[in-house]
């Protein structure tokens, strides 16, 4: 079949988060022989254009709107493209993410519209107890109402999204998955390096400020420990998050390396040198970063919040922490740095967890079956 996917992180450019998920989903779909059209708004595009970047993959770049009505312009442009592709028989179903209200106000289409709950702006604002413009919540709610079917990447986000928007959502839960790297690329040496790693956007939501507060406590017990932070700076209250991290770390700021965004192969290479990967998020939909670390056999600490318990079973294939419990977080990091046998045990169990509970090819099969059911409905 032929699938349309709306995603603003367009291939073959640098991607992360939802872009990584989309890239791996697209790769799997095309390898199975399905045709895929990925469309998104490209701020760098000077004109609308379509390009074939693989035999079964087309990428459509839409010129970004300008001014007050840019959001409306972008949604209309995406709708017109999707309608054209659908009428020409080039797509049998179209998927949109739940944030920004991409399909809000879309008219009737000859193909079903599927919304995937990755975490809307409204959802994360509610989770973080932050204000959200009424217009954003209105558009995201309208998009959910417009969709014909819904996929949720975790049980938690399915339940919480329904609560946040006050809608009777019936979403099929299809957990995110990640490709399992071959054993040759996974961690095999668990001797102590005194190295801790975080990967993801440097933002309060991801728990990086909590990690920075915990870091001095770790350093008092492990004076040679270093913290690698990989990811773009998401900013914090008008400042660089990196600056805030260094302030919170105080006298131990020099032991934190802010490496910025890295392509996935470089990120994986850095991860496998670490003794511990830490992701103390305040809110997630179903985070890829801890799954990628686990898939590489890196002992992983995740969060008790949101969907954290759907990813890791505490003490079995990783550890879970409350990001507000600085002493607990520091203690977990330090205990893993001290104990090679536990690191090996959790690292190997984490990789096994990804292979058995979230296998990429099974996830891909379930997504295809879902699309096919939508197309037949």
Do β-strands 49-54 and 57-63 pair in parallel, antiparallel, or remain unpaired?
antiparallel
b vs e for 221-249, b when ≥16 Cβ sit within 10 Å of the residue's Cβ? ebeebbbbbbbebbbbeeeebbebbbebb
Q: What is the CATH number of the domain that holds 26?
A: 3.40.50.2000
Is residue 331 domain-shared with residue 347, that is, in the same domain? yes
One digit per residue, the tens of pLDDT, for the chain of length 377 reads 999 999 887 666 655 567 778 888 999 999 999 999 999 988 888 889 999 999 999 999 998 888 888 888 899 999 999 999 999 999 999 999 998 899 999 999 999 999 999 999 999 999 999 999 999 999 999 999 999 999 999 999 999 999 999 999 899 999 999 999 999 999 999 999 999 999 999 999 999 999 999 999 999 999 999 999 999 999 999 999 999 999 999 999 999 999 999 988 999 999 999 999 999 999 999 999 999 999 999 999 999 999 999 999 999 999 999 999 999 999 999 999 999 999 999 999 999 999 999 999 999 999 999 999 997 65
Is residue 34 domain-shared with residue 23, that is, in the same domain? yes
Q: Count other C-beta atoms under 10 Å from residue 307's C-beta.
A: 25
- Number of domains the chain contains: 2
Is residue 268 domain-shared with residue 283, that is, in the same domain? yes
Closest by alpha carbon to 202, among 226, 234, 228, 227?
Answer: 234
Domain residue limits at 110: 2-177+359-376
Over residues 213-258, the pLDDT tens digits come to: 999 999 999 999 999 999 999 999 999 999 999 999 999 999 999 9
Taking the C-alpha atoms of residue 349 and residue 351, their distance in angstroms, rounded to an integer, is: 5
Is residue 206 domain-shared with residue 127, that is, in the same domain? no
Is residue 225 domain-shared with residue 310, that is, in the same domain? yes
Is residue 196 domain-shared with residue 99, that is, in the same domain? no
* pTM of the shown model: 0.92
Is residue 164 domain-shared with residue 300, that is, in the same domain? no
């Amino acid at each position: 079949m032929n699938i349309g996917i709306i995603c603003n992180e367009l291939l073959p450019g640098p991607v992360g988060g939802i872009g990584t998920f989309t890239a791996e989903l697209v790769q799997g779909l095309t390898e199975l022989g399905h045709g895929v059209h990925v469309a998104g708004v490209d701020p760098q595009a000077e004109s609308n254009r379509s390009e074939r970047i693989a035999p079964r993959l087309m990428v459509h770049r839409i010129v970004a709107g300008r001014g007050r009505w840019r959001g409306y312009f972008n949604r209309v442009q995406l709708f017109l493209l999707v309608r054209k592709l659908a009428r020409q028989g080039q797509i049998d179903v179209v998927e949109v993410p739940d944030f920004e209200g991409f399909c809000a106000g879309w008219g009737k289409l000859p193909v079903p519209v599927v919304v995937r709950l990755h975490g809307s702006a409204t959802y994360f604002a509610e989770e973080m107890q932050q204000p959200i413009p009424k217009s954003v919540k209105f558009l995201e709610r309208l998009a959910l109402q417009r969709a014909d079917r819904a996929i949720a990447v975790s049980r938690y986000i399915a339940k919480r999204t329904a609560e946040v928007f006050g809608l009777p959502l019936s979403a099929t839960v299809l957990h995110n998955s990640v490709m399992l790297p071959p054993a040759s690329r996974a961690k095999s040496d668990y001797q102590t390096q005194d190295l801790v790693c975080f990967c993801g956007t440097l933002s309060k939501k991801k728990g990086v400020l909590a990690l920075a507060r915990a870091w001095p406590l770790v350093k008092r017990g492990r004076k040679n420990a270093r913290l690698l932070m990989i990811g773009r700076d998401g900013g914090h209250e008008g400042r660089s998050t990196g600056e805030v991290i260094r302030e919170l770390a105080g006298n131990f700021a020099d032991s934190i390396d802010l490496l910025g965004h890295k392509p996935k192969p470089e990120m994986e290479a850095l991860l496998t040198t670490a003794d511990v990967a830490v992701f103390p998020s305040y809110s997630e939909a179903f985070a890829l970063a801890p799954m990628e670390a686990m898939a590489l056999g890196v002992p992983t600490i995740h969060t008790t919040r949101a969907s954290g318990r759907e990813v890791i079973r505490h003490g079995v294939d990783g550890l879970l922490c409350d990001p507000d419990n600085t002493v607990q977080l520091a203690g977990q990091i330090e205990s893993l740095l001290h104990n090679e046998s536990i690191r090996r045990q959790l690292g190997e169990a984490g990789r096994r967890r990804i292979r058995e509970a979230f296998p990429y090819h099974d996830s891909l099969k379930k997504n295809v079956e879902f699309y096919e059911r939508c197309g037949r409905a």
